Copies of this chain bind each other. A is one copy, B any other.
């Protein structure tokens, strides 16, 4: 099974919610945890515990662990291992990128079987072109893992680059989406929930079969119930990422918040 088929199967079988694991300072405080590596470890493990059996996908945000250096990375390893042991599909959200043997090393870190950080997929930037990621895509293919590439982000500052017109007449975002759709199930796209695809000359049809990770639900603006309207024909391929709206419920309320979000996604119609 390729990454794409695994991802789509998880969505179909266990719902479309992707639970973000974002232990930033304010949330650690709200949870009564210290701003230390031990704090992010506890936060990660408790979130995994709440997500297990309730959601299919978790997405640790690497930056909040990296903040504490090697100790934070040890906490991330514990979190990822606990998530995979619980049968959760893990997307390491680190937005890595580079070229050649360097980007291959990122692939070895996040996608190689047996690596302490082994995840099911990693997020990446293709700022140096999708071809810059060739070596990590090859590694992903070998291990049925995935690379989810930021394609159309919703932060306003992203629009000028994503909408820039390439020499072939396509926007940067549309060209990237088409190139990713042509890959053998090794890659997905990050598309902000509130992004106007038409503004980039993109159509959802070009994304048929492509795993879509959509941040921007919850605290960042879109409602989960809007997913079918926002993504139309490809809404079954979308993992709706939600972090603060869930995590803000605190460790005691997180499980219920995940259940409610999954129910909202199940009940959503176009």
Q: Which residues does A use to contact B, with CB under 8 Å? A: 22, 24-26, 61, 63-64, 66-74, 76-77, 95-103, 105-106, 108-109, 115-117, 125-132, 150, 153, 155-161, 163-168, 171-172, 175
Contacts and interface: CB of A to CB of B under 8 A. Distances in A.
Contact of A160 (B98, B116, B158, B168): B168
Contact of A164 (B102, B106, B158, B172): B172
6 contacts: A63-B98, A95-B96, A128-B158, A129-B156, A131-B157, A164-B167
B167 A103 contact: no
Given A73-B70, A109-B66, A157 B130 contact: yes
A159 B125 contact: no
Copies of this chain in its oligomeric complex: 2
B97 A125 contact: yes
A6 B138 CA distance: 40
Contact of A129 (B95, B115, B125, B161): B161
A69 B61 contact: no
Given A24-B101, A63-B105, A165-B165, 12 more contacts: A24-B102, A61-B102, A67-B108, A70-B77, A125-B125, A132-B157, A160-B168, A160-B172, A161-B161, A161-B164, A161-B172, A164-B172
A167 B160 CA distance: 7
Contacts of A76: 70
Given A61-B102, A125-B97, A127-B150, A67 B161 contact: no
Contact of A105 (B67, B97, B125, B157): B67
A159 B67 contact: no
Given A105-B63, A164-B172, A99 B69 contact: no
A131 B115 contact: no
Contacts of A117: 66, 69
A159 B127 CA distance: 10
Q: Which among A63, A101, A126 has the highest number of chain B CB atoms within 10 Å?
A: A63
B150 A105 contact: no
B150 A109 contact: no
A123 to B, nearest CB: 9
A70 B132 contact: no
